[in-house]
A and B are shown apart, each in its own frame.
Chain A
Amino acid sequence: MIINNIIRNNSLFIKGFLISGFLSLFMLVSNFGFSQTAEDEKNFQVCKACHTIGGGKLVGPDLLGVNEKRDEAWLISFIQNSTAMIEAGDPIAIEVFNENNKIPMPPNALTDDQVRGLLLYIASGGKIEGGELTASPETENVEDMDLKTAEETTKLIAEMKRDGQRNMSYVFIVLAILFLISLFDLVIIKIVKAKWIHYIIMLTSVVIIGEIVFVEATGLGRQQYYQPDQPVWFSHKVHADQNQIDCKYCHFTADRSMHAGIPPVATCMNCHAQVKEGKKTGTKEIAKIHAAFENNEPIEWVKVYNLPDHVYFNHAQHVNVGKVDCAQCHGEVEKMDEIIQIPDLSMGWCIECHRTESVQFTTNKFYDQYTKLHEKLKKGEMPNVTVQNIGGDECAKCHY
């Protein structure tokens, strides 16, 4: 019997949820927040990773008095997308960038009003107007939401696992026994006289056993829902969801290279030089990054998404050229603490997408040379040009 045991080490995953839940509860009791509004308080959670209000410089500058220092319009656009301003050559933005060790502030998807609220919150020094000291029920909500999403994610993944991982070993064994009994009866003891019963039982069990073997054999070497222990308990949820860090801030070669790139420790240190304590794991996990950096020993992450050696896959082709969203293959990473492999990475899965997804046929000038396809498109003979239409399902696109 083929044992489908490719998912290992999910104990820490669960542990992670437990720890995070426990920590959140602890914080609920101990942490009283003061907020302008609940929303501002919540939005500021993201900023808190790198900024304080009057608590001194962390990764980014202390925000105390920032409202007086810069005008509002500048602040709004800087908070929304600082990199764009630096690239556009804004002198103040560049100065700030240089003062802070050239660590860019990730862009924030906030509306102008949200930013204004945030600025008010900062101006108040993290207190509501009037300085009234009240326990904030909204904070509770935030932590609640945290827990809720954690539960949701666990549920989501459990569902996915249930769908993908059927355990047919009992069926297999029962059918095998049935088959043997019928055979035994048919040839030797001959209790049941009607031979067609034997034949039906035997045929059915052979077909079902065959199907099980086929499915299991196809799954050999695939690692759907693979979630190994990582050397550092790194949470994508904390980074990508709570702190809203863009995927490509860490995986910065995804649009340039075949590898999305595991971030070098130096990239972690951009923020973690200052952020030495996490909400969920305290200093324990972050200390590992510091140790790696100081001892010159790179962190040996366990690779989750593994393609066989005979497959060539290029991130730049998909992310940069095809404009495929990361989540399309990697799932809702921002809801996961430790990464779990969502697709089975089978060839059928790849081809399925190549058959349906359309390429950037009219926007990318490369495709101008496909004159016949352009004509068909113009005449309306085809609704769109899929990857398959330009040879995306051919062997030598991925195997060479």
Chain B
Amino acid sequence: MEKLYWQSLDDYKEQKSNSVIDKKDATPEFSIEGLDESEVKGQSSRRDFLKLLGFSVSAVALVSSCQMPVRKAIPLLNQPDDMIPGVANYYASTFFDGKDYCSILVKTRESRPIKIEGNDMSPLTKGGTNARVQASVLNLYDDARLKNPSIAGAKATWDAIDKEVIERLTKLNEDGKKVVLLTSTIISPSSRALIEEFITVYPNVEWITYDPVSFAAMRKANELNFGTSLIPSYSFDKANVIVGFNADYLGNWLMPVTFSKQYSVNRKVIQDNPKMSRSYQFESLMSLTGANADFRVGIRPSDEAAILLNLYNEIAKSTGMSVYNAPKTNIDISKVAKELLSNKGKSLVVSGTDDINIQLIVNAINTALGNYGYTIDINTPVNLMQGDDEAMDNLVKEMNTGTIGGIIINNSNPVYDYSNSKGFITGLKKVGTSISTSDIMDETALECEFVCPDNNYLESWNDAEPVKGHFSIMQPTIQPIFNTRQFQDNLLIWMGNSDDFETYMESKWRQRLVDVSNFNSSWNSIKHDGVYQIKNEIADQPEFIGQSLMAKKALDKGIELVLYENIGMGIGKYANNPWLQELPDPITTATWDNYLCISPAYAESNDLKLEDIVSINGIEIPVLVQPGQPDGTAALAIGYGRTAAGKAGNNVGVNAFGLINGSTIDIKKIDGKTYPLALTQMHHDMEERPIARETTLAKFIKDPASGNELHAYDEKHNVTLYNKIKYDGLHWGMSIDLSSCTGCGNCVIACQAENNVAVIGKEQVKNRRIMHWMRIDRYYSRDEVNPEVFHMPVMCQHCDNAPCENVCPVAATNHSTEGLNQMAYNRCIGTRYCINNCPYKVRRFNWFEFTNNNNFDYNMNSELGKMVLNPDVIVRQRGVVEKCSMCVQRIQEGKLVAKMENRELKEGDIKMSCEQSCPTNAIQFGNLLNEDSVVKKETKNPRMYHLLEGLHTLPSTSYLTKIKNT
């Protein structure tokens, strides 16, 4: 093998010192932490024996005298035409939480939403979702949700609230005292119109938009450069060269789902016409985008402006634009500049830093490259991220001076996520009337007098215009579960409008749609599709107004702090969602915590290692040594440290919102103290076998099988004693394009939601018992300073010669005539032989009962939380082994539909849960006996290989080598 892959720094050190991996200090199969002494020793006392004896005798007595429980069948009083018990309905809707936008389909069973799918009719998200969108259905069934409105902490009725609030608003209006409506970004045109109308009724109301993550600098820069404060729309699919500066566009930046779809278009390599985009990423932490970039450069945050200005100068020199004084940097950007210049109009430079100087330079570079009108469009601006930092700062000042008479806070939690939280709280106490519309008793709602709980988005009507001309409808898929009311309905009632928001919104759409004569049918079709597009008039890009550019010299000492959003938590709105808490971070593979990422060099010189505790600005936090973390930086995820999110999310990690991004920090080691982190990185270690296979575009053009030479060798040398299974009709298979996969973790949550996978909590994750049926393996290669990252989704490979099948003493796992490695939980007696014999380590053992167990107080321990369970999939009990079933319930459903329609199965009829919403279409599923299916065609691809094919397990799942454009 040419390349050595490693999973942790310990691995890497071993490789470096010795290059032959022989001694691997055997870590125990599972950690013994958290177990009591007798468990560790594996001893049982006489007492235990007697306990067991007594238990089994009484259990037998109980079972034998038991009667079957009486089960009720309660039909509906009046069954609606479109609701058939046992058949799923899908409704198009929209996910928007103030930050992320996604067009979705909501799968409902018996009228309750159980799964989110991507809506492939959307021209923006094209059927993709991200992990948070997938997990959002669980928020609907969150026990922390408020059940009733309240006044000053006491339960109240809506009538009482309305009466009091209207009285107060009228009084404040008469007195001319200012009332502030504080919201996160609102992209709904109807809601915006409603708020404007509200302001005409109460002219003393001022509307302030606040987002914890700000794009204010970019908007300001565009205002200076193009005359309008906006965020342009980007087309990553049209760019041959993409240069990102601290912009995690595949992870969290602006519209990650849309950008992932666009990005992956040029990452899929066709053998006949091998072309690929090239991506550069300059960043101050290891982000998902950096992990996928062809070239990644670690930089200090303070160095970014200087590098960009140098890049600009380099480009300006050859395009004849004015050159500015730029401080010298250590980074050589001439290669990037050259490449950008040769791809004028087909390149894209983006920066995610909220600094106006940087955004001005980025705009100047894109102008010099002629990208406006091609990869960047000013005329179709993105409406997301409208937060106005200045207005927010002013508001806090005004609140503290006592000039604000009232405040209505919607979908915003400044007490938790505003940098000057204390100032906000003291100010809020001086505001006479404070109203929160939070759906949970969050940090801000706790400080408010009136709490008017909002509906979940799956219970609400709304519309959205994330990008100019792209409309999208949000429609309720369930009646409000609790006594809650939509924010917009509050406004309507408080302004004396008797309409509900649905009617109001419909009237607005009546104005928007040209063909009013046929309104009902077009309105219905928009609601059906979930999306509606108005063609924007083609116009020239506005003229670029040059601004003078400047950059400061980078700091060369000290540690600069980088705050980032991780894939699971984002800005921390869904901290109480246990699925997201337990989603391993795609880079660090950590769950249930945030931590300070430091560079390996810093760790070495300061004698720090994983799980040591350090103190920064008075905050104590564990350390994670992150390969690729640039020297002189440390990264910390925001979105943790909630105190009023709910039982799963409270006090997980630390709150980093009080720290300043880019500031210099002192890291003090706290001696003798450690804090355990639950990383899944070393679980299911595949040792050093040729699992990750990759090549470069240049090598691929020369030899399409490059990097995959072992495949031909293994094919030739494999012999077996078993007969080859002959299939008839159906043989399911899966194909995973590692070139497309970004490792975003969407599939992990999609699988969890579809297959009722249990959440087990931090302690058990640490004990290596994570239950996810599919995982994203992450391998590093090259050095620790700037490693290459390799992501690989692994689930059951459904081998034809499955090693697990022939060791099962009770034949609980066996092979189907459709090529599935099936698992009969009811037959399983839990010997775990199969787990031992599975070379892919994809089988999971239920060490505990995860339902109705107070030790695992997550969604499966709550009547409400259980509503999310998929009724077609059983919930596994303690003592059985489970694993990926290749969504057999979806296969059976697809087959049934075809039979009922009296037709053959078509390619695409059945989609796996992980495949359906993949934002990069990396996963394909189909019938290997169908010559036209993608999976069958991919088996002939020279890039195709199976995991550990030397074992001749003949998996039905195949992988395509990763191709990097280096």
Question: A and B: real partners?
Answer: yes
Q: Name A residues whose Cβ lies closer than 8 Å to a Cβ of B.
A: 1-3, 5-6, 8, 220-221, 223, 226, 228, 253, 256-259, 261-267, 292-293, 296-303, 306, 308-310, 312, 314-317, 320-321, 364-373, 390-391, 394-397, 399-400
Q: Is the CB of A365 within 8 A of B902?
A: yes
Given known contacts A259-B86, A265-B78, A321 and B885 CB-to-CB distance under 8 angstroms: no
Q: Is the CB of A293 within 8 A of B824?
A: no
Which residue on chain A has the smallest CB distance to residue B78?
A266
**Chain A residues whose C-beta falls within 8 Å of the C-beta of B72 in the assembled complex:** 300-303
Q: Is the CB of A400 within 8 A of B729?
A: no
Q: Is the CB of A321 within 8 A of B63?
A: no
> Which of B77, B726, B896 touches A298 (beta carbons < 8 Å)?
B77
User: How far, in whole Å, are A264 and B74 apart by their CA atoms in the complex?
Assistant: 9
Q: Is the CB of B873 within 8 A of A316?
A: no
Which residue on chain A has the smallest CB distance to residue B816?
A394
**Chain B residues whose C-beta falls within 8 Å of the C-beta of A303 in the assembled complex:** 71-73
Q: Is the CB of B816 within 8 A of A391?
A: yes
**Chain A residues whose C-beta falls within 8 Å of the C-beta of B67 in the assembled complex:** 5-6, 8
> Which of B85, B817, B824, B899 touches A257 (beta carbons < 8 Å)?
B85
Q: Is the CB of B895 within 8 A of A366?
A: yes
The reply to whether the CB of B68 lies closer than 8 angstroms to some CB of chain A is yes
Q: Binary interface profile of B, 887-916, with partner A (CB < 8 Å = 1, else 0)? A: 011001001101110111100000000000
The reply to whether the CB of B53 lies closer than 8 angstroms to some CB of chain A is no
User: How far, in whole Å, are A395 and B132 apart by their CA atoms in the complex?
Assistant: 34
The reply to whether the CB of B555 lies closer than 8 angstroms to some CB of chain A is no
12 additional A-B pairs beyond A266-B77, A303-B72, beta carbons within 8 Å, are A6-B67, A253-B85, A253-B87, A262-B73, A298-B77, A301-B74, A310-B874, A321-B900, A366-B898, A396-B824, A399-B822, A400-B892
Q: Is the CB of A3 within 8 A of B898?
A: no
Q: Is the CB of B816 within 8 A of A300?
A: no
Q: Report 14 cross-chain contacts, Cβ distance below 8 Å, ordered by A residue.
A: A259-B85, A265-B75, A266-B79, A293-B77, A296-B77, A299-B75, A368-B904, A372-B729, A394-B822, A395-B822, A396-B822, A396-B823, A399-B826, A400-B822
Q: Is the CB of A264 within 8 A of B824?
A: no
Top 7 A-B pairs, shortest CB-CB distance: A396-B822, A257-B86, A258-B86, A370-B729, A391-B817, A395-B824, A262-B75
User: How far, in whole Å, are A152 and B76 apart by their CA atoms in the complex?
Assistant: 35
**Chain A residues whose C-beta falls within 8 Å of the C-beta of B900 in the assembled complex:** 256, 316, 320-321
What is the CB-to-nearest-CB distance from A123 to chain B, in angstroms, rounded to a whole number?
Answer: 39
Q: Binary interface profile of B, 52-93, with partner A (CB < 8 Å = 1, else 0)? A: 000000000001110110111111111100001111000000
Q: Binary interface profile of B, 654-690, with partner A (CB < 8 Å = 1, else 0)? A: 0000000000000000000000000000000000000
**Chain B residues whose C-beta falls within 8 Å of the C-beta of A1 in the assembled complex:** 64
What is the CB-to-nearest-CB distance from A176 to chain B, in angstroms, rounded to a whole number?
Answer: 15
User: How far, in whole Å, are A52 and B86 apart by their CA atoms in the complex?
Assistant: 39
Q: Is the CB of A264 within 8 A of B79?
A: yes
Q: Is the CB of A370 within 8 A of B885?
A: no
Q: Is the CB of A264 within 8 A of B75?
A: yes
User: How far, in whole Å, are A167 and B824 apart by their CA atoms in the complex?
Assistant: 33
Q: Is the CB of B892 within 8 A of A369?
A: no
Which residue on chain A has the smallest CB distance to residue B875?
A309
Q: Name B residues whose Cβ lies closer than 8 Å to a Cβ of A.
A: 63-65, 67-68, 70-79, 84-87, 726, 728-730, 812, 814, 816-818, 820, 822-827, 872-874, 885, 888-889, 892, 895-896, 898-900, 902-905, 927, 929-930
User: How far, in whole Å, are A262 and B63 apart by their CA atoms in the complex?
Assistant: 31
What is the CB-to-nearest-CB distance from A223 to chain B, in angstroms, rounded to a whole number?
Answer: 6
> Which of B77, B896, B903, B930 touches A292 (beta carbons < 8 Å)?
B77
User: How far, in whole Å, are A310 and B827 apart by their CA atoms in the complex?
Assistant: 11
Q: Is the CB of B77 within 8 A of A265?
A: yes
User: How far, in whole Å, are A328 and B899 apart by their CA atoms in the complex?
Assistant: 21
**Chain A residues whose C-beta falls within 8 Å of the C-beta of B77 in the assembled complex:** 264-266, 292-293, 296-298
Given known contacts A221-B68, A400-B874, A256 and B889 CB-to-CB distance under 8 angstroms: no
Given known contacts A223-B68, A314-B896, A390-B817, A301 and B75 CB-to-CB distance under 8 angstroms: yes
Q: Is the CB of A257 within 8 A of B87?
A: yes
Which residue on chain B has the smallest CB distance to residue A394?
B816
What is the CB-to-nearest-CB distance from A117 to chain B, in angstroms, rounded to a whole number?
Answer: 38
Which residue on chain A has the smallest CB distance to residue B872?
A312
Q: Is the CB of B87 within 8 A of A256?
A: yes
**Chain A residues whose C-beta falls within 8 Å of the C-beta of B929 in the assembled complex:** 369
Q: Is the CB of A400 within 8 A of B888?
A: yes
What is the CB-to-nearest-CB distance from B158 to chain A, in angstroms, rounded to a whole number?
Answer: 22
What is the CB-to-nearest-CB distance from B420 to chain A, in angstroms, rounded to a whole number?
Answer: 53
Query: Could you say which of A2, A259, A296, A373 has the most chain B C-beta atoms within 10 Å of its C-beta?
Result: A259
**Chain B residues whose C-beta falls within 8 Å of the C-beta of A296 in the assembled complex:** 77
A-B CB pair tally, cutoff 8 Å: 163
Q: Is the CB of B728 within 8 A of A261?
A: no
User: How far, in whole Å, are A220 and B873 apart by their CA atoms in the complex?
Assistant: 24
User: How far, in whole Å, are A391 and B895 apart by their CA atoms in the complex?
Assistant: 13
**Chain B residues whose C-beta falls within 8 Å of the C-beta of A221 in the assembled complex:** 68
Given known contacts A257-B87, A364-B899, A369-B904, A302 and B817 CB-to-CB distance under 8 angstroms: no
**Chain B residues whose C-beta falls within 8 Å of the C-beta of A293 in the assembled complex:** 77
User: How far, in whole Å, are A391 and B814 apart by their CA atoms in the complex?
Assistant: 12
What is the CB-to-nearest-CB distance from B652 to chain A, in angstroms, rounded to a whole number?
Answer: 33
**Chain A residues whose C-beta falls within 8 Å of the C-beta of B892 in the assembled complex:** 312, 314, 397, 400
> Which of B78, B816, B895 touches A396 (beta carbons < 8 Å)?
B816
Q: Is the CB of B904 within 8 A of A366?
A: yes
**Chain A residues whose C-beta falls within 8 Å of the C-beta of B816 in the assembled complex:** 391, 394-397
**Chain B residues whose C-beta falls within 8 Å of the C-beta of A300 in the assembled complex:** 72-74
**Chain B residues whose C-beta falls within 8 Å of the C-beta of A301 in the assembled complex:** 72-75
Q: Is the CB of A399 within 8 A of B825?
A: yes
Q: Is the CB of B71 within 8 A of A372?
A: no
Q: Is the CB of A365 within 8 A of B85?
A: no
Q: Is the CB of A261 within 8 A of B75?
A: yes
Which residue on chain B has the smallest CB distance to residue A315?
B86
What is the CB-to-nearest-CB distance from A385 to chain B, in angstroms, rounded to a whole number?
Answer: 11
User: How far, in whole Å, are A365 and B902 apart by their CA atoms in the complex?
Assistant: 5
**Chain B residues whose C-beta falls within 8 Å of the C-beta of A302 in the assembled complex:** 70-73
Which residue on chain A has the smallest CB distance to residue B73?
A303
Q: Is the CB of B817 within 8 A of A394?
A: yes
**Chain A residues whose C-beta falls within 8 Å of the C-beta of B726 in the assembled complex:** 372
Which residue on chain A has the smallest CB distance to residue B898?
A366
User: How far, in whole Å, are A3 and B68 apart by their CA atoms in the complex?
Assistant: 12
Q: Is the CB of A309 within 8 A of B65?
A: no
User: How far, in whole Å, are A369 and B872 apart by their CA atoms in the complex?
Assistant: 26
What is the CB-to-nearest-CB distance from A102 to chain B, in angstroms, rounded to a whole number?
Answer: 12
> Which of A253, A292, A321, A397 touches B86 (beta carbons < 8 Å)?
A253
Query: Could you say which of B75, B76, B86 has the most chain A C-beta atoms within 10 Å of its C-beta?
Result: B75
**Chain A residues whose C-beta falls within 8 Å of the C-beta of B820 in the assembled complex:** 396
User: How far, in whole Å, are A253 and B76 apart by their CA atoms in the complex?
Assistant: 13
**Chain A residues whose C-beta falls within 8 Å of the C-beta of B86 in the assembled complex:** 253, 257-259, 261, 314-315
Q: Is the CB of A365 within 8 A of B827?
A: no
User: How far, in whole Å, are A264 and B77 apart by their CA atoms in the complex?
Assistant: 5
Query: Could you say which of A220, A264, A368 has the most chain B C-beta atoms within 10 Å of its C-beta?
Result: A264
Q: Is the CB of B905 within 8 A of A369?
A: yes
**Chain A residues whose C-beta falls within 8 Å of the C-beta of B73 in the assembled complex:** 262, 300-303
Q: Is the CB of A253 within 8 A of B84?
A: yes
Q: Is the CB of B70 within 8 A of A3?
A: no
User: How far, in whole Å, are A5 and B67 apart by their CA atoms in the complex?
Assistant: 7
What is the CB-to-nearest-CB distance from A373 to chain B, in angstroms, rounded to a whole number?
Answer: 6
User: How far, in whole Å, are A293 and B823 apart by their CA atoms in the complex?
Assistant: 45
User: How far, in whole Å, are A312 and B900 apart by their CA atoms in the complex?
Assistant: 18
**Chain A residues whose C-beta falls within 8 Å of the C-beta of B78 in the assembled complex:** 264-266
**Chain A residues whose C-beta falls within 8 Å of the C-beta of B896 in the assembled complex:** 314, 316-317, 321
> Which of A228, A298, A396 touches B70 (beta carbons < 8 Å)?
A228
Q: Is the CB of A256 within 8 A of B79?
A: no
What is the CB-to-nearest-CB distance from A226 to chain B, in angstroms, rounded to a whole number?
Answer: 8
Which residue on chain A has the smallest CB distance to residue B820?
A396
**Chain A residues whose C-beta falls within 8 Å of the C-beta of B927 in the assembled complex:** 369
Q: Is the CB of A312 within 8 A of B905?
A: no
User: How far, in whole Å, are A267 and B80 apart by their CA atoms in the complex?
Assistant: 11
What is the CB-to-nearest-CB distance from B787 to chain A, in angstroms, rounded to a whole number?
Answer: 40
Given known contacts A302-B72, A310-B825, A395-B822, A365 and B904 CB-to-CB distance under 8 angstroms: yes
